[in-house]
């Protein structure tokens, strides 16, 4: 039996120091951790060690106190929390005492009021979302051609729903010109910024700034062209490459644009280049955009902003939920989320409506262009830093 499973073990201090036990002047005996020699007692001989040596029990620290408060606010039962604390090697008796005191703590009571307000908002969102989902075709992403400005704005921008536009890029020179070989011929000598070493960082999207890496464009394109499926290296929107005068020629290959875009593409477009297997984890953007596949296919998974309460969005615009490999033990609420799933083919453009969550996987080696110059108000405040 492990120490942490033993009854009452938590009543013992984790160590002498932690318990504030004064050291005696007697020579130190190798006592099992957690056992305290009564002060002033003569040592007669060495006792046989107990059969069942307790592991060191650590005193409850602030990060576990915060964990308890988080989970108490989520209405987790006390015994479950105490058992988790004990399993992690921390003092369950302290945890029980801390939990019992919570209802009397004014800070905890204030947090409960915030929680209750949040839950009322979340219920409103969930009910509105339930009405939206009640249509048979809720999870189908429409594919449209010949979309008028009025219909695009009314049905998709204001209606806040994604759509794949099949003919937006039909006449773009980029559709015929852009390839890995052509990029290499025209811009191979340039240095570009990519995200590298993503495989080594589970939070690669959140930490994207620290993964920035300058590389020669030709060498990068060669790696993309010859690599197997990988998520390790990706030239993403944050490269700012299309804002550089030496890449201005690329934008001449883009257009004509539909009449629901304005003509300031130069400031609003981003290039994405990467191998099959790149993955952009679940997040929402702070504006609306169009994203055109020039080479290769991408799979987009969309989740309504009204489902946000089920996405464990504890940090900025990111969710830890992965709908490609759903972990229901960690994220049980995500089981009830309806996901719209669509593969965007070369030449097709996907519209990302405001605040829709999305995660994106490249099915092939891809070259894509995203642009945000919609001719509608497209600046919003999400309290987001960048
Ligand atoms: O293409 C990708 O990998 C991600 C695209 C995306 O998330 C975006 O444009 O906001």
Domain residues for the domain of 84 are 62-104
What atom in ligand 1 is closest to the CA of residue 291?
Answer: 9
Tell whether 151 is covered by a domain: yes
The rounded Å distance from CA 358 to ligand 1 centre is 8
Are both 268 and 194 inside the same structural domain? yes
Q: Give the pLDDT confidence score for residue 267 in this predicted structure.
A: 82
Report whether 217 contacts 191 (CB < 8 A): yes
Q: Give the pLDDT confidence score for residue 14 in this predicted structure.
A: 33
Beta strands 163-165 and 142-144 are parallel
Tell whether 27 is covered by a domain: no
Residues lining ligand 1, Cβ inside 6 A: 237, 272, 278, 280, 285, 289, 291, 298, 358, 360, 368, 370
Instruction: Locate 270 and state its tokens.
Output: 């981003």
Tell whether 183 is covered by a domain: yes
Q: Give the pLDDT confidence score for residue 55 in this predicted structure.
A: 72
Q: Give the pLDDT confidence score for residue 1 in this predicted structure.
A: 35
* Domain end residue (candidates: 87, 104, 121): 104
Task: Select from 34, 124, 173, 157 the least CA-distant residue to 165.
Answer: 157
The rounded Å distance from CA 378 to ligand 1 centre is 17
Report whether 258 contacts 168 (CB < 8 A): yes
State pLDDT tens for residues 262-290: 988 778 999 999 999 999 999 999 999 99
Tell whether 109 is covered by a domain: no
Helix (H, G, I), strand (E, B) or coil at 365: coil
Q: Give the pLDDT confidence score for residue 17 in this predicted structure.
A: 33
Mean pLDDT of the chain: 88
Report whether 89 contacts 124 (CB < 8 A): no
The rounded Å distance from CA 206 to ligand 1 centre is 14
Are both 215 and 362 inside the same structural domain? yes
pTM of this prediction?
0.82
Residue in 370, 382, 386 to alter for ligand 1 test, most ligand atoms within 8 A of Cβ:
370
The rounded Å distance from CA 133 to ligand 1 centre is 25
The rounded Å distance from CA 285 to ligand 1 centre is 9
Task: Select from 324, 328, 285, 325 the least CA-distant residue to 310.
Answer: 328
CATH classification of the domain holding 221: 2.60.120.650
Question: What region, left, alpha or beta, does residue 124 occupy, with left being phi > 0 and alpha being psi -120 to 50 degrees?
Answer: alpha
Measuring from atom 10 of ligand 1, which residue has the nearest CA? Answer: 285
What atom in ligand 1 is closest to the CA of residue 366?
Answer: 1
Are both 159 and 237 inside the same structural domain? yes
Q: Kindly provide the residue ranges of all beta strands, DSSP E only, lying in the chain, ordered along the sequence.
A: 142-144, 163-165, 191-196, 212-216, 233-234, 269-274, 279-284, 289-295, 298-303, 340-344, 349-352, 357-362, 366-371
Measuring from atom 1 of ligand 1, which residue has the nearest CA? Answer: 360
Tell whether 377 is covered by a domain: no
The rounded Å distance from CA 81 to ligand 1 centre is 38
What atom in ligand 1 is closest to the CA of residue 278?
Answer: 3
What atom in ligand 1 is closest to the CA of residue 368?
Answer: 1
Question: Could you give the number of structural domains in the chain?
Answer: 2
Residues of the chain with pLDDT under 50: 1-35, 37-38, 40, 42, 386
Are both 208 and 275 inside the same structural domain? yes
What atom in ligand 1 is closest to the CA of residue 280?
Answer: 3
The rounded Å distance from CA 252 to ligand 1 centre is 22
Are both 88 and 206 inside the same structural domain? no
Q: Give the pLDDT confidence score for residue 263 in this predicted structure.
A: 83
Are both 86 and 185 inside the same structural domain? no
Are both 94 and 207 inside the same structural domain? no
State pLDDT tens for residues 139-194: 999 999 999 999 999 999 999 999 999 999 999 999 999 999 999 999 999 999 99
């Amino acid at each position: 039996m492990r120490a942490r499973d033993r009854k009452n073990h938590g009543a013992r201090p984790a160590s002498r120091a932690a318990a504030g036990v004064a050291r005696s002047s007697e020579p130190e005996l190798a006592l099992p951790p957690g056992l305290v020699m009564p002060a002033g007692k003569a040592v007669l001989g060495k006792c046989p060690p107990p059969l069942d040596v307790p592991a060191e029990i650590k005193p409850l620290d602030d990060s576990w106190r915060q964990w308890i408060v988080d989970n108490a606010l989520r209405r987790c039962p006390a015994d479950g929390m105490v058992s988790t604390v004990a399993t992690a090697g921390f003092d369950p008796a302290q945890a029980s005492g801390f939990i019992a005191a919570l209802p009397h703590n004014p800070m905890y009571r204030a947090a409960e009021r915030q929680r209750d307000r949040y839950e009322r908002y979340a219920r409103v969102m969930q009910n509105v979302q339930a009405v939206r989902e009640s249509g048979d075709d809720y999870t189908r992403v429409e594919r449209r051609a010949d979309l008028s400005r009025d219909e695009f704005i009314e049905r998709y921008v204001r209606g806040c729903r994604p759509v794949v536009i099949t003919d937006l890029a039909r006449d773009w020179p980029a559709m015929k010109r852009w390839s890995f070989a052509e990029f290499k011929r025209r811009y191979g000598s340039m240095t570009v910024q990519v995200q590298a070493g993503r495989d080594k960082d589970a939070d690669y999207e959140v930490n994207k700034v620290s993964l920035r890496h300058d590389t020669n464009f030709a060498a990068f394109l060669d790696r993309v062209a010859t690599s197997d499926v990988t998520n390790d290296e990706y030239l993403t929107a944050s490269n700012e490459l299309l804002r550089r005068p030496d890449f201005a020629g690329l934008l001449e290959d883009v257009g004509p644009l539909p009449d629901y875009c304005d003509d300031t593409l130069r400031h609003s477009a981003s290039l994405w280049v990467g191998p099959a297997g790149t993955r952009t984890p679940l997040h929402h953007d702070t504006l609306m955009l169009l994203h055109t596949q020039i080479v290769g296919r991408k799979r987009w998974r969309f989740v309504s902003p009204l489902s946000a309460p089920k996405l464990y969005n504890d940090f900025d615009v990111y969710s830890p939920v992965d709908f490609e490999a759903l972990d229901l033990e960690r994220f049980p609420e995500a089981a009830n989320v309806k996901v719209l799933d669509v593969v965007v083919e070369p030449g097709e453009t996907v519209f990302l409506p405001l605040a829709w969550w999305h995660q994106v996987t490249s099915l092939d080696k891809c070259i894509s262009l995203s642009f945000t110059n919609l001719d509608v108000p497209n600046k919003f405040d999400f309290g987001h830093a960048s």
